[in-house]
Structure 1
Amino acid sequence: MRRYGQAVLMLLVGAAVLRISLFSALYLRYVQSGLRPYLIASGALLVLLGVAAGVRAAREVPYEDDDEDEAEDRHGHGHGHGHTHTTGPRLAWLLALPATALLLFPPPALGSYSADREDAQRAAQGVGTFPPLPSGDPVDLSVAAFTSRAVYDSDRSLKGRTVRLTGFVTHGDDGTWYITRLLVSCCAADATTSKVEVRGADAPATDTWVTVTGIWHPKGRLGSSAAWPPLLDAKAVRRVEEPSDPYEQR
């Protein structure tokens, strides 16, 4: 069995990568959509290498000494051949654990815990003007776009407009709740947070995905910490399914 260890590990890792990238959209929990072809290619290559390694191992004829070594390992004693046994091959099997976990139980997308760690992040830098909003209400905006305009737009383009935001729910220590999204540049490791405090509606459970329709409630001086996080007076809160791509793009 020791001969097939390398093949089994490559097959497990390759199958896990293909499962999240080729056969589902789970890869979007970890990286941007543009990286999907590279994940598929990597997973396929690992599977092919694993098959090749398995075929090669099957064709190899084990040495007599190797058979004796395996017998010694099973029975816990040696026959005086002076062989030195290492734990390297055995420890290598530990690499199969994360690969199997990813294959069978992919972890969820980042949620409220990650958002809380990035509480002070901003979606834009500096006060300025923004392009006009589309006509008609409600206007669909990303949470990042809403926070940028609310905190930094000198033209106050959100004033009097009804907006619709989608994100997951996070809670503050004082009973407040927020609609929150994570932004990624490349992958989940560089995620930062945008969030909007929602008023006038009961708080759903943490990490629940919702669509909130409401009107911007101005607060604080533009570009100041007092303007963060922006406020939204809710007209309606509707529970929705988590999107296949849970992150907003920069």
Structure 2
Amino acid sequence: MRRPLQAVLLVLLGAGVLRVSLFSDIGLRYVKQGLQPYLVASGIALCALGAIGALRDGLPFPARRPGRDAGHEDPEPVHGHDHTRGPRVAWLLLPPALALLLYAPPALGSYTAARDSPQLVAEYESFDTLPARGPVPLSLTEFIARVQQEEQQSLLGRTVVLQGFVTPGEDGTWDLTRLLIACCAADAQSLAVTVHGVTAPPADTWVRVTGTWHPGGALGSTSAALALDAIAVDRIPEPPLPYVDRPPAAG
């Protein structure tokens, strides 16, 4: 790869990073929200390095070489190395640069969740008192924690509202799923609650499920079924933050 092309490639890559981090929230499909400023800084740095390289090489108007103006040939490469060229492996940066500019890959979904073992949630020291009446909106994390850890069994007979995306299971079953990340999509792990009583919407559809705990095992213990008897399932748009932050391990 010639040096002028290296500069162009750096600018393209930087522009792609800025497109998904500074000019949109697409970057949140790949990293947690707290890392977004670092993506912006990286995009600016890549564009700056590319611009500096382009100016060094005389772009967009290449400088005329004195040797060529005098009718002389370009000097031979020193020690067999052509310093006007970069490593060919640099071309591997072109596909991700174009992908970020033209088609940003979607957030992880059911394909990842179906191939992952559901993650146990952290131990809760205490739980807030639930409203006395009406459906209770809960995160998937809190629902799982209350089902498995709460000795008072406050969810028994209560109607809850959960949100997530659809992951098809076996024998026509399906799970309401969220993915947890500690840093980025590469370390994603799944939270899943099996939904009974309603036909599964298409895979990766984001839905709001209203229902009650599906009896199984002992509520308030690790044997409690992570399942819901659905009353209603409504489609919703994918949220701007598709992942749930997973706190770092203690110690």
Scaled to the shorter chain, the TM-score interval is: 0.7 to 0.9
- Distance in structure 2 (CA, Å) of the matches to 1:22 and 1:155: 46
Aligned residues: 237
Indicate the SS of the match to 1:196: strand
- Distance in structure 2 (CA, Å) of the matches to 1:5 and 1:134: 62
State the Cα deviation string for residues 151-209 of structure 1 (Å, max 9, x = none).
Answer: 22221121122111111001111211111111112211221111111111111111111
Mapped contact 1:122–1:193 kept (Cα < 8 A) = no
Residue 24 of structure 2 corresponds to: 24
Deviation at 1:63, TM superposition (A): 7.2
Percent identity over the alignment is 52
Indicate the SS of the match to 1:38: helix
What is the identity, as a one-letter code, of the residue corresponding to 2:195? V
Mapped contact 1:142–1:248 kept (Cα < 8 A) = no
The match for 1:189 among 160, 180, 186 is 186
Mapped contact 1:129–1:154 kept (Cα < 8 A) = no
Structure 1 unaligned regions, length at least 5: 70-78
Q: TM-score, normalised by structure 2?
A: 0.83
Deviation at 1:147, TM superposition (A): 1.2
Mapped contact 1:217–1:232 kept (Cα < 8 A) = yes
Q: In the TM superposition, what are the counterparts of 1:1-250 in structure 2 within 5 Å? A: 2-58=2-58, 62=65, 64=67, 89-125=87-123, 129-221=126-218, 222-224=220-222, 226-228=223-225, 230-250=226-246
Indicate the SS of the match to 1:210: strand
What is the identity, as a one-letter code, of the residue corresponding to 2:180? L
Mapped contact 1:5–1:93 kept (Cα < 8 A) = no
Mapped contact 2:196–2:228 kept (Cα < 8 A) = yes
Indicate the SS of the match to 1:227: coil
Deviation at 1:105, TM superposition (A): 1.3
Indicate the SS of the match to 2:161: strand
- Distance in structure 2 (CA, Å) of the matches to 1:216 and 1:82: 74
Indicate the SS of the match to 2:24: coil
- Distance in structure 2 (CA, Å) of the matches to 1:25 and 1:63: 49
What is the identity, as a one-letter code, of the residue corresponding to 1:218? P
Indicate the SS of the match to 1:163: strand
Deviation at 1:111, TM superposition (A): 0.5
Deviation at 1:114, TM superposition (A): 1.3
Q: TM-score, normalised by structure 1?
A: 0.84
Distance of aligned partners of 1:45 and 1:134 in 2 relative to their CA distance in 1, 3 Å threshold? farther
What is the identity, as a one-letter code, of the residue corresponding to 2:185? A
State the Cα deviation string for residues 201-237 of structure 1 (Å, max 9, x = none).
Answer: 111111111110111123113443x434x11111111
- Superposed CA RMSD: 2.8
Structure 2 unaligned regions, length at least 5: 247-251
- Distance in structure 2 (CA, Å) of the matches to 1:115 and 1:148: 19
What is the identity, as a one-letter code, of the residue corresponding to 1:171? P
Higher helix share: 1
Mapped contact 2:2–2:86 kept (Cα < 8 A) = no
What is the identity, as a one-letter code, of the residue corresponding to 1:53? G
- Distance in structure 2 (CA, Å) of the matches to 1:241 and 1:162: 22
